[in-house]
């Protein structure tokens, strides 16, 4: 290759294009990887003392466990492709097929959540598993769906409104709300059907009923949207370790305890990135970069970007808070996984939002825990309400989690069964399928894209979940990288 060679020029241009990625969650780590792959010098700045963001692990009673995200949706294949690229493909494992339960039914009953629904909407209200949850009255009410005219003026965007109107309150409260609350931390009324279940409204018009539409979608897709997930033996947090190792191989500087406090234009069209001074120093540090990708949660992203992206609204949307209490218990009574892989709850029927029976769901955790020892994760906080644990100290939060776990699992669990506990608080992004969210995100993306050398990614833009965050980070890094190397034209190679 000679200097005049366009390929050689590209190689050196990439090497001279300095990039900073702000935020070390999965979005930031993946964006840094995409930039570093083409030879760009990259620095990743993470505010806290560890990278990974909402993907976290902790040692609880001697077992290394995921205490944040614990699986990934297999749809789209992008997370799997990343896992393979990082050499973890051989360790991908499916969850056990025990299914989930719903608790908080009339009389305090619990029952297996019927398989075959879309967002909890059943395809047949007379199915005994469905009728057991919604009762005879609920089944007759849902059956009216078949008799109602299919066409409304326009169509319903609100999932809650659509389900209430066509199938009634029992289906909404006992089947759909537990799923949206457990999966999206949102009320059905706030979910946009067209984004959460694409094609459902069109199928409703075609088939003449909502249950018919669910049956048609299920037939086409085989699984409910978002239904298929996988885990990694040893924990999803291994993905973070593997990403960091790959970044370091590629020469990326990964800096923890490096909170960014400002971004401002620098000389020659470059960007200055200001870091908070360390506790033992007064002077701020500043880095200069040709491109900056911001991969932090919404409130912080809007605060950092709005001074340099005039069209970006500085006001963030609401951010649901959830708390997860992980319990390790001596409880042979749980050996038979009495509530399958876990329990979703009818909203307001208990103080917890959901429970995962981790040792039932993941075989590798069962092996790591040993005979008669069980791991249970209790989640608090849903639908915009503060978690019931919010004002409690760790000991009281653990005690509440234990009481809720016993009630949801239908098994007595005394305090002396507890081997260890871990509590973690998370601020989540609104789901991408929240009503009105698509327009807000499009406006934010449009504003950032108008500014050369800047990019933004992360769950607040892509929607929550690794299957959303990973492809978005890849695409955003690619967009900014291309613009830096080729302007907006086509590659000349
Ligand atoms: C309890 C829980 C369970 C979940 N379970 C699953 C699951 O099983 N499967 C799934 O696919 N998804 C799951 N999710 C969602 C998924 O974890 C997230 O959507 C995803 O990890 C978000 O990644 P991110 O990079 O966008 O943001 P984050 O993980 O929030 O990362 C942002 C990073 O930016 C850093 N930061 C903030 N401000 C600054 C600053 N000024 N300077 C530098 N750094 C800064 C933060 O410290 C953080 O590390 C779960 C989420 C939660 C809360």
Q: Is the pLDDT of residue 139 over 90?
A: yes
Same domain, 330 and 387: yes
Give residue 92's domain range.
Answer: 71-97+230-234+320-427
Q: Which residue has the tokens 């719903």?
A: 102
Phi and psi (nearest 5°) for 451? -105, 115
Lowest mean pLDDT among 1-5, 228-232, 248-252, 464-468: 1-5
Give the DSSP H/E element, type plus range, for residue 479. Answer: helix 466-486
Q: Is the pLDDT of residue 491 over 60?
A: no
Task: Name the residue at shortest CA distance from atom 35 of ligand 1.
Answer: 23
Same domain, 296 and 362: no
Same domain, 444 and 307: yes
Phi and psi (nearest 5°) for 369? -75, -35
Is 106 within a domain? Answer: no
Q: What distance, in Å, lies between the first and last C-alpha atoms of the chain?
A: 13
CB atoms within 10 A of CB 311: 12
Task: For residues 63-76, give the mean pLDDT.
Answer: 95
Q: What is the DSSP letter of 173?
A: I
Task: Return the SS3 of 261.
Answer: strand
Is 66 within a domain? Answer: no
More confident residue, 277 or 262: 262
Same domain, 148 and 18: no
Distance 101 CA to ligand 1 centre (A): 27
Sign for the CA dihedral angle at 128, 130, 135, 136 comes to negative
Q: Is the pLDDT of residue 231 over 50?
A: yes
Per-residue CA distances from 212 to 91, 129, 143, 189 (Å): 39, 18, 11, 21
Q: What CA–CA distance (Å, rounded) separates 60 from 45?
A: 28
Tens of pLDDT, residues 321-372: 999 999 999 999 999 999 999 999 999 999 999 999 999 999 999 999 999 9
Task: Give the total residue count for the chain.
Answer: 493
Q: Domain containing 155 — which CATH number? A: 1.10.3110.10
Is 249 within a domain? Answer: yes
Of the pLDDT bands very low, low, confident and very high (cuts 50, 70, 90), residue 225 is very low
Of the pLDDT bands very low, low, confident and very high (cuts 50, 70, 90), residue 154 is low
Of the pLDDT bands very low, low, confident and very high (cuts 50, 70, 90), residue 487 is confident
Is 112 within a domain? Answer: no
How many domains is the chain built from?
3
Q: Which residue(s) pair with 321 in the sheet?
A: 427
Tens of pLDDT, residues 26-51: 999 999 999 999 999 999 999 999 99
Spatial contact of 29 and 44, defined as CB atoms under 8 Å apart: yes
Same domain, 365 and 459: no
Which of 376, 407, 427 represents a domain boundary (last residue)? 427
Is 108 within a domain? Answer: no
Task: Name the residue at shortest CA distance from atom 1 of ligand 1.
Answer: 68
Q: Which residue(s) pair with 221 in the sheet?
A: none
Mean pLDDT of the chain: 92
Task: Name the residue at shortest CA distance from atom 5 of ligand 1.
Answer: 69
Is 107 within a domain? Answer: no
Mutate to test the pocket of ligand 1, among 26, 44, 53, 303 (most ligand atoms within 8 A of CB): 53
Q: What CA–CA distance (Å, rounded) separates 236 from 390?
A: 26
Distance 154 CA to ligand 1 centre (A): 36
Whether ligand 1 lies within 6 angstroms of the CB of 459 is answered as yes
Which of 160, 189, 221 represents a domain boundary (last residue)? 221
Is 59 within a domain? Answer: no
Share of the chain above pLDDT 70, in %: 95
User: Quick one: which atom of ligand 1 is closest to the CA of 426?
Assistant: 53
Which of 188, 221, 254 represents a domain boundary (last residue)? 221
Q: Which residue(s) pair with 105 in the sheet?
A: 109
Taking Cα atoms as reference points, which of 52, 58, 60, 424 lies closest to residue 242? 52
Is 58 within a domain? Answer: no
Whether ligand 1 lies within 6 angstroms of the CB of 297 is answered as yes
Taking Cα atoms as reference points, which of 389, 390, 391, 408 lies closest to residue 399? 389
Same domain, 153 and 217: yes
Q: What CA–CA distance (Å, rounded) separates 48 from 23?
A: 9
Q: Is the pLDDT of residue 226 over 50?
A: no
Mutate to test the pocket of ligand 1, among 21, 296, 341 (most ligand atoms within 8 A of CB): 296
Whether ligand 1 lies within 6 angstroms of the CB of 27 is answered as yes
Lowest mean pLDDT among 64-73, 138-147, 204-213, 217-226: 217-226
Q: What is the pLDDT of residue 151?
A: 62
Number of helical (H) and strand (E) elements in the chain, helices listed first: 18, 20
Taking Cα atoms as reference points, which of 384, 395, 388, 391 lies closest to residue 321? 384
Same domain, 382 and 335: yes
Q: Residue 57 corresponds to which tokens in the numbers above?
A: 């692990």
Dihedral, CA atoms, 248, 251, 255, 260, nearest 10 degrees?
A: -140
Q: What CA–CA distance (Å, rounded) separates 28 from 141?
A: 48
Tens of pLDDT, residues 157-190: 899 999 999 999 999 999 999 999 888 888 999 9
Tens of pLDDT, residues 365-406: 999 999 999 999 999 997 667 888 989 999 999 999 999 999
DSSP E strands: which ranges in 12-153?
Answer: 19-22, 42-45, 57-60, 63-66, 72-73, 92-93, 100-105, 109-112
Q: What CA–CA distance (Å, rounded) separates 345 from 350?
A: 7
Spatial contact of 117 and 224, defined as CB atoms under 8 Å apart: yes
Same domain, 198 and 121: yes
Same domain, 90 and 149: no
Q: Which residue has the tokens 């609350």?
A: 181
Lowest mean pLDDT among 99-103, 126-130, 156-160, 276-280: 276-280
Residues 6+ apart with CB under 8 A from 70: 231, 235, 236, 356, 358, 362, 377
Task: For residues 268-295, give the mean pLDDT.
Answer: 91
Spatial contact of 316 and 302, defined as CB atoms under 8 Å apart: yes
Q: What angle do CA 41, 43, 48 make, to 5 degrees?
A: 165
Give the DSSP H/E element, type plus range, for residue 366. Answer: helix 363-369
Q: What CA–CA distance (Å, rounded) separates 184 from 228?
A: 16
Phi and psi (nearest 5°) for 459? -60, -25
Distance 53 CA to ligand 1 centre (A): 4
User: Quick one: which atom of ligand 1 is closest to the CA of 67?
Assistant: 1
Same domain, 337 and 354: yes
Whether ligand 1 lies within 6 angstroms of the CB of 355 is answered as no
Q: What angle do CA 103, 375, 347 make, to 5 degrees?
A: 25
Same domain, 215 and 133: yes
The Cα diameter of the chain in Å comes to: 79
**Torsional class of 388: left (φ above 0), alpha (ψ -120 to 50), beta (otherwise):** alpha
Q: What is the pLDDT of residue 493?
A: 47
Same domain, 255 and 298: yes
Tens of pLDDT, residues 94-107: 999 999 999 999 99
Q: What is the pLDDT of residue 383?
A: 66
Task: Return the SS3 of 473.
Answer: helix
Q: Which residue has the tokens 């830096």?
A: 484
């Amino acid at each position: 290759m000679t200097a005049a060679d366009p390929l050689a020029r590209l190689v050196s241009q990439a090497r001279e294009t300095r990039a900073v990625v702000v935020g070390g969650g999965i979005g930031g780590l993946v964006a840094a990887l995409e930039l570093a792959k083409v030879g760009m010098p990259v620095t990743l700045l993470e505010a806290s003392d560890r990278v990974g963001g909402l993907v976290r692990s902790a040692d609880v009673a001697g077992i290394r466990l995921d205490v944040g995200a614990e699986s990934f949706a297999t749809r789209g294949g992008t997370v799997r492709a990343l896992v393979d690229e990082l050499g973890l493909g051989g360790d991908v494992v499916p969850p056990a097929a025990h299914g989930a339960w719903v608790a908080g039914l009339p009389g305090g009953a619990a029952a297996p959540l019927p398989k075959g629904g879309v967002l909890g909407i059943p395809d047949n209200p007379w199915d005994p598993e469905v009728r057991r949850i919604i009762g005879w009255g609920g089944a007759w009410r849902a059956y009216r769906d078949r008799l109602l005219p299919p066409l409304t003026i326009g169509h319903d965007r609100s999932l809650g409104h659509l389900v209430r109107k066509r199938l009634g309150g029992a289906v909404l409260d006992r089947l759909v709300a537990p799923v949206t609350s457990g999966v999206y931390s949102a009320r059905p009324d706030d979910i946009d059907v067209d984004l959460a279940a694409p094609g459902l409204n069109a199928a409703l018009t075609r088939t003449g009923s909502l249950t018919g539409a669910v049956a048609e979608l299920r037939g086409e897709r085989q699984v409910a949207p978002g239904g298929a997930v996988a885990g990694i033996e040893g924990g999803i947090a291994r993905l973070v370790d593997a990403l960091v190792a790959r970044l370091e191989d590629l020469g990326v500087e990964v800096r923890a305890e490096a909170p960014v406090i400002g971004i401002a234009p620098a000389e020659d069209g470059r960007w200055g990135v200001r870091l908070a001074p360390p506790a033992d120093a007064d002077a701020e540090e500043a880095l200069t970069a040709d491109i900056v990708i911001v991969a932090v949660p919404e409130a912080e992203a809007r605060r950092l970007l709005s001074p340099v992206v005039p069209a970006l609204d500085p006001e963030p949307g609401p951010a649901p808070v959830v708390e997860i209490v992980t319990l390790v218990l001596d409880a042979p009574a749980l050996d038979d996984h009495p509530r399958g892989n876990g329990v979703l709850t009818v909203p307001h029927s208990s103080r917890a939002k959901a429970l995962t029976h981790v040792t039932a769901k993941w075989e590798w955790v069962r092996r790591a825990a040993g005979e008669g020892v069980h791991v249970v994760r209790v989640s608090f906080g849903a639908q915009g309400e503060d978690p019931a644990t919010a004002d409690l100290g760790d000991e009281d939060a653990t005690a509440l989690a234990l009481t809720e776990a016993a009630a949801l699992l239908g098994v007595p669990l005394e305090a002396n069964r507890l081997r260890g506990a871990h509590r973690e608080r998370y601020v989540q992004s609104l789901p991408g399928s929240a009503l009105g969210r698509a327009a807000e995100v499009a406006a934010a993306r449009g504003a950032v894209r108008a500014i050369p050398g800047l990019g933004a990614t992360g769950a607040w833009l892509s929607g929550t979940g690794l299957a959303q965050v990973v492809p978005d980070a890849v695409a955003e890094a690619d967009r900014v990288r291309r613009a830096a190397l080729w302007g907006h034209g086509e590659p000349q190679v």
